């Protein structure tokens, strides 16, 4: 008796071989079709059963071989069906995944990358700009003494200007405060550096006031101080125009309005032409001017407090609102977004 795979299953020469069975199994596209083939071969009335039933009719010397071949066919068919079942299941999972847009050949998603906070971006840009003009970048404490935050800046106790600086006082006798502006670092610069000097001081400041879209308890400023001989308002305006060109990438018309700050005399509010419109917009509140830069010539009392002789030296100073600048630049309508820490906001930069 020949091997069933060779095409001759015992004495019934028309009986299907294992090779034929395997081909049929491979062609099955569903488990129903597989069941059908299973029944045909290993079912109660199937090929294998008929082979076994033919044994008594076979010549005695062939009987063991017929039995053996029947078993080989049975095992082979069962194995082939199992393999095909697994194949069909795998294919089903693959199609489902494809439907969900899952493509295992794609590279994995990249890890999220952080970015610099818009305040950091503006601060660094301005630091570069000022450094290129020979300014030094300084830093100062965020917890200040009453002396540096007020007294030395020509704001003595009971001066009404203190009211406008809604102050966080530290526990104790009230002589430590969270600095309400970056101006106290002017005094520290005067004390520690020899004139002539040019410095800028970016940093965080704090105000004890109720918050709304344009007020936060914590925001950022950049203080500037230039001490030299014969400093005039013309120097101040020139420096401010250069600053604005650095920020907005073009020359903007400016105007000075009188502004009162105890540490400068004269003091100004410097406005710039709205960089966003020709005839009035939401940003400039239809005035075509944006209020950007309080500044002035440093008061002699302040120079004296810093140990600099006002007869010999002149100075100008300015206090740029960094938070406000970032809001202008990115059309942000609520200052509280800046330090709110909402990742959806920050991801935009």
Residues that bind ligand DAH (CB under 6 A): 181, 183, 223, 261, 264, 267, 294-296, 317-319
- Of the candidates 95, 4, 90, the one whose C-alpha atom is nearest the C-alpha of residue 51 is 4
172: left (phi over 0), alpha (psi -120 to 50) or beta: left
Q: From the CB of 181, what's the least distance to ligand DAH, in Å?
A: 3
Question: What is the crossing angle of helices 31-42 and 63-99, to 10°?
Answer: 180
- To ligand DAH, the closest distance from the beta carbon of 101 in angstroms equals 53
Residue nearest to ligand DAH (CB): 319
CB atoms closer than 10 angstroms to residue 41: 24
Quote the least distance from Cβ 110 to ligand DAH, whole Å: 42
Give dist(CA 205, CA 143) in Å, integer: 9
- Cis before residue 295, ω within 30 degrees of 0? no
Give the nearer residue to ligand DAH in terms of CB position, either 48 or 292: 292
Q: How many CB atoms lie within 10 A of CB 169?
A: 13
Q: Which is nearer to ligand DAH, 58 or 233 (CB)?
A: 233
Q: Smallest distance, Å, CB 184 to ligand DAH?
A: 9
Q: How far is the CB of 223 from ligand DAH (least distance, A)?
A: 6
Residue 329's SS3 state is helix
| Beta-strand pair 289-298/264-273 | antiparallel
Beta strands 143-145 and 254-258, pairing class: unpaired
User: Closest by alpha carbon to 205, among 191, 215, 218?
Assistant: 218
Nearest approach, Cβ of residue 279 and ligand DAH (Å): 30
Cis peptide bond upstream of 144, omega within 30: no
Lookup: tokens for 282: 């939401």
CB of 146 to ligand DAH, least distance (A): 15
**What DSSP line would sit under 63-111, residue for residue?**
HHHHHHHHHHHHHHHHHHHHHHHHHHHHHHHHHHHHHTT--TTSPPPPP
Residue 221, phi then psi, degrees to nearest 5: -130, 165
Q: How far is the CB of 138 from ligand DAH (least distance, A)?
A: 13
Q: How far is the CB of 318 from ligand DAH (least distance, A)?
A: 5
Q: Is 212 helix (H, G, I), strand (E, B) or coil?
A: strand
Residue 271: closest CA among 336, 311, 328: 328
With respect to ligand DAH, which residue has the nearer C-beta, 34 or 189? 189
């Amino acid at each position: 008796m020949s091997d069933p795979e060779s095409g001759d299953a015992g004495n019934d020469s028309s009986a299907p071989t294992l090779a034929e069975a395997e081909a049929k199994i491979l062609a099955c596209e569903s488990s129903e079709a597989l069941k059908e083939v299973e029944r045909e071969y290993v079912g109660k009335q199937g090929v294998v059963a008929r082979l076994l039933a033919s044994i008594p009719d076979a010549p005695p010397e062939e009987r063991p071989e017929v039995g053996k071949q029947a078993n080989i066919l049975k095992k082979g068919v069962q194995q082939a069906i199992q393999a095909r079942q697994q194949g069909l299941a795998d294919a089903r999972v693959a199609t489902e995944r494809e439907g969900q847009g899952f493509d295992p050949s794609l590279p994995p998603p990249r890890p999220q990358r952080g970015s610099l906070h818009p305040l950091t971006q503006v601060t660094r840009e301005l630091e570069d700009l000022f450094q290129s003009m020979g300014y030094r970048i300084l830093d100062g404490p965020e917890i200040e003494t009453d002396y540096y935050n007020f007294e030395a800046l020509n704001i003595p106790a009971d001066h009404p200007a203190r009211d406008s600086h809604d102050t966080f006082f530290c526990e104790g006798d009230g002589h430590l405060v969270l600095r309400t502006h970056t101006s106290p670092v002017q005094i520290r610069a005067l004390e520690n550096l020899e004139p002539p000097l040019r410095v800028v001081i970016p940093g965080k400041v704090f105000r004890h006031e109720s918050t709304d879209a344009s007020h936060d308890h914590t925001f950022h400023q950049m203080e500037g101080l230039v001490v030299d001989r014969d400093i005039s308002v013309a120097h101040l305006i020139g420096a401010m125009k250069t600053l604005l060109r650095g920020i907005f990438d073009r020359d903007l018309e400016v105007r000075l309005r009188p502004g009162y700050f105890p540490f400068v005399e004269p003091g100004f509010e410097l406005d710039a032409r709205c960089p966003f419109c020709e005839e009035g917009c939401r940003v400039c509140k239809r005035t075509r001017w944006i209020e950007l830069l309080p500044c002035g010539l440093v008061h002699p009392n302040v120079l004296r407090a810093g140990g600099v002789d006002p007869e010999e030296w002149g100075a100008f100073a300015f206090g740029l609102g960094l938070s406000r600048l970032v809001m202008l630049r990115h059309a942000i309508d609520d200052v509280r977004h800046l330090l709110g820490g909402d990742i959806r906001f920050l991801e935009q930069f």
